[in-house]
Structures are given as structure tokens and as C-alpha cells.
Amino acid sequence: MIIDVHTHVFRDPQDFTEQFRRQAMRARGDAEIDLTASYEDYRREAGEPVRTIVFGGKARLSGIWVDDRYVAETVARNPETLIGFLSVDPTREGWQDELREGHQDLGLRGVKLLSMYAGFRPDDPSVEPLWRYATEHGLPVLLHTGTTFVSQAPLECTLPRHLDPVAIRFPDVKIILAHLGHPYEGECIAVIRKHPNVYADVSALHYRPFQLYHSLMLVQEYGVWDKLLFGTDYPFTNVDASLAGLRSLNRMLEGTALPRLDADEIESVIYRDSLSILDLS
């Protein structure tokens, strides 16, 4: 069975500010967009059985705010296949109460952080209560790392290197760096190679196939295939498109002398038991 560690549930437009929606449209050539994400659509578009980690997101700076209760309600309708993560914005008052409520009252089993979108660094001392709570309660933490279309979101807050001191101080927390840190893949690989508790997902990377090939060749050369987890970033893409993108990379190289990716390792990423790795099985 496939485990998708990276999907969203949104209600558009109520979970986004108008500024966020305009910037999202700009990133897509000013095309109209619908950011609504429902599990029913996701399941219908998947070609094979999937268990799925799902979350919303909170980042007042960028104009994203999904109530964790909506995530919990979505999970409650599909308890056999969905695992919910809560989200907090540590720049806002009351975030520690939301952390406890999401975990203890709503039953959400991990944390999704949008550090760049909210404007904080994950190694900032103000975030230490979150890392301590995650340690005490065994909650995995998935963070957006890499690029964005949101103008006010500081790139300084998204660099994979900032998870290095966190992993040193909190070695018992399972940490997932989203999108393989794209376009800072080399930095991301250095962090996941160094720390046994740090992983990366490969969500939303197949749009740029040659860059994904290059990134996975770095993974191959550093010997860290085992640190990659499958994810989609639904609704921005889906399971079938993500699988096709990964499996087509070597075909892109036909007629060239470029080295091939290990196809068996790609399949291992696709079918990795990520829930066991994250202590969520």
C-alpha cells in the first residue's frame, strides 16, 4: 500500500486571504484557481489504495488559516485511511493552547509547520515549547522547506539547515522536510544524512523533471534513498501524477550518457512504510 505523507484539506475561499489567492494566481500565469481540497476528490483520483496524512495550515503572515477542527472532522469521516496533523503559527498568541487542543482534544497525531509562510525559524528559541511537546508526546513534525510564490514569506525561514540544531537538541522527534527542500536539495540531503530522526518527502517535485532527476541523483550518490518518504502535496497534484513523474525520470534520459536512477529504489520510496517510521502505524 502507498503511504502519502503530505496532503492538505482546504476550504476555498474562506481559508485564504484575497492577497494569498492573487499571489497563487500570479504563480500560475494569472489563471483562475480553486484551492478547495476534499478527501473525496483525492480518493477518486488515486489509482490504488492509499493511506494518507492530512493537514490544513496556519500562517497569518501569508494569509492561510485552516481550523484544525475541520481537519479532525475530515479524519473522522475516513478513519481507516486518514491520519490528521494539527498546525500552529508560533508567531500568534495562544498557539501553545492550540497545540494541546489539536493533539489532546481533537486527536490529531502530528504537527505541520509553515515556518516560512508564518515568518519564523524552526530553531528560534520561541518554538522550543513545540519541540519539547513533540518529544514528550511522540508527535512527528512535518515542515514546509523550500520555495514559495508568497512575496512576504521570508526565504530565510525555510532553509533546511535550520533543522540541524533542532535535530541535535531533539533527537527523538521524527522530522520531515517537505519537498526535499527544493530548490535547496543539497542542503536538505546534508541534514537528512546526518540525523537518524530526519527525513524528507518528495511531494510536488515532478513538475520540474530534470531538477527532480538531479535531486534524486544526489540522493543516490549520498546513499540516502532510505530517508525519502512518498508524498503528493494534494490538491496541487495527485497520487497518479506523482507516481508517473517519479517512474518516468529514467525514460527522459534515453539517448543520453547520463547515469540512471535506481528504479528499485524509486519503487521503495513509493511503497515505503512511512507510518511505521513515524510511529503512526
Q: What is the per-residue pLDDT across 221-270, written as a single tens digit (0 to 9) for each?
A: 999 999 999 999 999 899 999 999 999 999 999 999 999 999 999 999 99
pLDDT band at 27 (very low <50, low <70, confident <90, very high): confident
Whether the pLDDT of residue 69 is over 80: the answer is: yes
For residue 276, give every residue at least 6 positions away whose Cβ sits within 8 Å of its Cβ, in sequence order, or none: none
- Under 8 Å between Cβ of 35 and 16: yes
Q: What is the mean pLDDT of residues 195-214?
A: 98
Beta-bridge partners for 228: 200
pLDDT value at residue 41: 85
pLDDT band at 113 (very low <50, low <70, confident <90, very high): very high
For residue 187, give every residue at least 6 positions away whose Cβ sits within 8 Å of its Cβ, in sequence order, or none: 159, 160, 161, 181
Average pLDDT, the chain: 96
Domain total in the chain: 1
Neighbours of 264 (CB within 10 A): 8
- Under 8 Å between Cβ of 228 and 272: yes
Q: Angle 175-194-204 (CA atoms, 0-180°, nearest 5)?
A: 50
Whether the pLDDT of residue 217 is over 80: the answer is: yes
Neighbours of 213 (CB within 10 A): 19
Whether the pLDDT of residue 39 is over 90: the answer is: no
Whether the pLDDT of residue 20 is over 90: the answer is: no
Whether the pLDDT of residue 30 is over 90: the answer is: no
pLDDT value at residue 206: 97
Q: Give whole-number Cα distances, 126 to 72, 100, 120, 228, 259, in Å.
A: 27, 16, 9, 29, 45
CATH of the domain at 203: 3.20.20.140
pTM score, whole prediction? 0.96
Segments forming the whole domain that contains residue 118: 2-277
pLDDT value at residue 88: 99
Q: What is the mean pLDDT of residues 98-125?
A: 99
Taken as a whole, the chain contains a residue count of: 281
Q: What is the mean pLDDT of residues 155-184?
A: 98
Q: What is the mean pLDDT of residues 165-178?
A: 99
Whether the pLDDT of residue 31 is over 90: the answer is: no
pLDDT value at residue 50: 97
pLDDT value at residue 120: 99
pLDDT value at residue 77: 96
Alpha-carbon gap, residue 111 to 192, rounded angstroms: 19
pLDDT band at 111 (very low <50, low <70, confident <90, very high): very high
